[in-house]
Amino acid sequence: MTPEYRLHWPDGLGRVDIYAALRPDRDGMRLMQRGLSGGTASLASPFPEQDRVYFFIKPQNGQDGLWLADRVLTLEGVANFRDMGGYETQDHRHVRWGQLYRSAAPSGLTSQDYAQIDALGIRTVTDLRTEAEQRKQPTHWKTGPNGTPPAFFASKKPVLPGQMTDRAQLARLDTRQARAMMAGFYSRMPELYEDELKGIFARLLAHRTPTLTHCTAGKDRTGFASALVLYALGVPEKTILADYAMSGTLLRAHMTPSFKAAMNDPKTGGAATAASPAMQAMLDSDPAYLEAGFRAIRERYGSVDRYLSEKLGVGPQQRAQLQSLYLD
């Protein structure tokens, strides 16, 4: 069956021409429709054998065009796998599609998943899981006959903080206490994951992309790292919080076997039971958690900008370079 896409774009662009491509690149685009208006259209894919298609919205009045794509990649063995492209920045540019990916742990990728992942051309993978989590669910990346496996950069932390893994303690928490535990973890992340965050930005500045950042759920450690990357690119904080909030819904909608096993394993951070307040708090992606991390940064460093510059080596010059590389 040929996939169909429902496209939406700002009505203020006026009449537009729509092109399709296999990469977010104007070379090789295929014209689909001319002179559409109203900000919406339904189109059948011109590439029915391909899992991922990009659409370019080109205004006829000469305004800058806009790339569109599905944000969430539907995979069998991994949840919460998504592209961070397309977000509008404060100066009305857009994060480039096909460069920055985030997900839950890819250890559950199936053969069919790899057929889709290979097309993304991922060059680097940052694994923010602890060494205990990595041992429990290692990722054995498979590539196609002409593919090259990405370079892996894994966290060296042995385990998560004790309160995140103590099964007996987690079982005693009520909802308020569980949420406070999560907010406390986020407030510690700016320093706790400083080395890993430095590495992510160094690889982005070296243009070692496309890149994938993940942890176990792709929500907390990955969510915090992704939020800082979007912030450095100039994406408004309101948009960053909305992106972060997607994770809880995506995880609950697709509880893969590998993710269930990780969440039920006390040695790698699993909570007591699926119905416990601690487990529910750990599955939530409440923007208040991420706000706690940002608030901690502002309390300690005065601003997120200063933290990026002083602790992660991402000052004005580096941010300008990142924006040149990853914004359209």
* pLDDT, tens digit (0-9, with 9 covering 90-100), for 230-286: 999 999 999 999 999 999 999 888 777 666 666 666 554 454 555 678 888 888 999
Look at residue 162 and tell me whether its pLDDT is greater than 80.
no
Contacts of 77 (CB under 8 A, 6+ apart): 108, 109, 110, 113, 256, 257, 258
CATH 3.90.190.10 fits 82-326, yes or no: yes
Catalytic site residues? 215
Q: What's the pLDDT at 244? A: 97
Q: pLDDT per residue over 60-83, tens digit each? A: 999 999 999 999 999 999 999 999
Of 263, 225, 244, 286, the residue nearest 108 (C-alpha) = 263
Cα separation, 139 vs 136, in Å, equals 10
Q: What's the pLDDT at 268? A: 46
CA angle 244–22–203, rounded 5-degree value:
50
Q: What's the pLDDT at 269? A: 47
Q: What's the pLDDT at 314? A: 98
At residue 156 the predicted structure's pLDDT band, cuts being 50, 70 and 90, is very high
Q: What's the pLDDT at 166? A: 77
Q: List 16's β-bridge partners, or say none.
A: 36, 59
Look at residue 129 and tell me whether its pLDDT is greater than 70.
yes
CA angle 303–207–24, rounded 5-degree value:
100
Mean pLDDT on 169-176: 85
Q: What's the pLDDT at 144? A: 66
Q: What's the pLDDT at 310? A: 97
Break the chain into its structural domains and give their ranges: 4-68, 82-326
Q: What's the pLDDT at 283? A: 86
Q: What's the pLDDT at 273? A: 56
Four-point Cα dihedral 32, 34, 38, 39, nearest 10: 40
Say which residue, 326 or 256, is predicted with more confidence. 326
Q: What's the pLDDT at 319? A: 98
DSSP string, 204-255: HHTT--SEEEE-SSSSSHHHHHHHHHHHHTT--HHHHHHHHHHHHHHHHH--
